[in-house]
Amino acid sequence: MNNYGITLVVGITLGFLARLFMLRSDYRQFPGYPHGYVTHLGLGLIAAALGAVAVPALVEKEYTAVTFLALAAQQFRSIRDMERQSLAELEELALVPRGKDYIEGIARVFESRSYLVMGVSLATSLVTFFTGWPYGILAGIVVMFISGYLMKGKTIGDIAEVIPSKPYFKGALLMVDNVVIMNVGLAESREKILKEGLGVVIKPKDDNARATLNSIGQRQAILQVTASLLGSKKEIGELDWTPLARKDIDTGKIALFILPVEPDIEPLIKAIKLTPVLESSKVNPLQSLPGSQAAD
């Protein structure tokens, strides 16, 4: 096998392994198994091939190969739109929906991982072509772990404290801490909530976190993650069991209520801390002059 063949094989292999490394179906229940895996791995193989073939093509002065990369970027963007639409349609039957912001975040991640695979494959091919396959494999592994690091974002546990707070009632008003959650009219429902319901207060660590938690999309993502991990007793037509997250307008803290299948406060706190900070909800007012002056 000549140098071109070795370059292609090593580049495609490391790129595909990078996509396999980044593929995981976790509490977000996406991608689904097994059909979602096939789709993601198939596109990962295509992205790896495109990245691997770029180096030999450019060495041979086949500059039209760059147009294939541009077409691939356009195709990956179209796939992101399809993923967004697919997840949005599933929302119609969800008892605790993800919300538009969470769906957009998942779709963006789906697209960006294809670019990361191309980057791993391209770097591997480049080093393999000029220095040999052992160094190419090493370069691919290094870039793969860098890609894994880039995938990691902040979670709620990084920007806020999560404090247990037992739900209680003021008349018919369900309260968590000093925040009104909702009105519960039936005495039987109030009794069940007091017996099985859980509540927490999410306190932002700074004004940036307060602005992020102010986002309705971010709060909905927290509710969806907690309902997925602990289960929710919400049912069609039973509004009293609806998980809710309300804001204290004076402090910016979030009071959360849920009637879970597993009424254990420690897993609830861990689930909330595990929730990702959504890109569309992330706000940094302290980095601006007016925001920093207002904080002072």
Kindly report the number of other CB atoms within 10 A of residue 131's CB atom. Answer: 12
Q: Give pLDDT tens digits for 217-264.
A: 999 999 999 998 888 988 887 888 999 999 999 899 999 999 999 888
- The residue among 110, 127, 152 that closes a domain is 152
Q: Is residue 291 part of a domain?
A: no
- For residues 173 and 106, membership in a common domain is answered with no
Residues 6+ apart with CB under 8 A from 142: none
Q: What is the dihedral of CA 97, 196, 274, 118, to 10 degrees?
A: -30
pTM: 0.81
- For residues 139 and 169, membership in a common domain is answered with no
Q: Give pLDDT tens digits for 52-84.
A: 888 888 887 777 766 777 777 777 777 788 778
Q: Give pLDDT tens digits for 148-190.
A: 777 777 899 999 999 999 999 998 999 999 999 999 988 899 9
Pairwise CA distance, residues 81 & 61, whole Å? 34
Pairwise CA distance, residues 93 & 262, whole Å? 23
Domain with 15, as residue range(s), is 3-152
The predicted pLDDT at position 291 comes to 53
Res. 293 pLDDT band, cuts 50 70 90: very low
Pairwise CA distance, residues 46 & 67, whole Å? 15
Kindly report the number of other CB atoms within 10 A of residue 293's CB atom. Answer: 8
Per the structure, the count of domains in the chain is 2
- The residue among 113, 131, 152 that closes a domain is 152
- The residue among 152, 185, 217 that closes a domain is 152
Q: Is residue 259 part of a domain?
A: yes
Cα distances (angstroms) measured from residue 252 to each of 203, 208, 264, 291: 8, 11, 25, 15
In the block, residue with structure tokens 């190419």: 136
Is it true that the peptide bond before 263 is cis, omega within 30 degrees of 0?
A: no
What average pLDDT does the structure give for the chain?
84
Work out the burial of residue 287: count CB atoms within 10 Å of its CB; fewer than 13 is exposed, 13-18 middle, 19 or more buried. exposed
- For residues 136 and 164, membership in a common domain is answered with no
Structure tokens at 168: 């209680």
Pinpoint the alpha helices (H) of the chain: 3-22, 35-59, 65-90, 100-131, 133-151, 156-159, 187-196, 207-213, 216-230, 265-274, 289-295
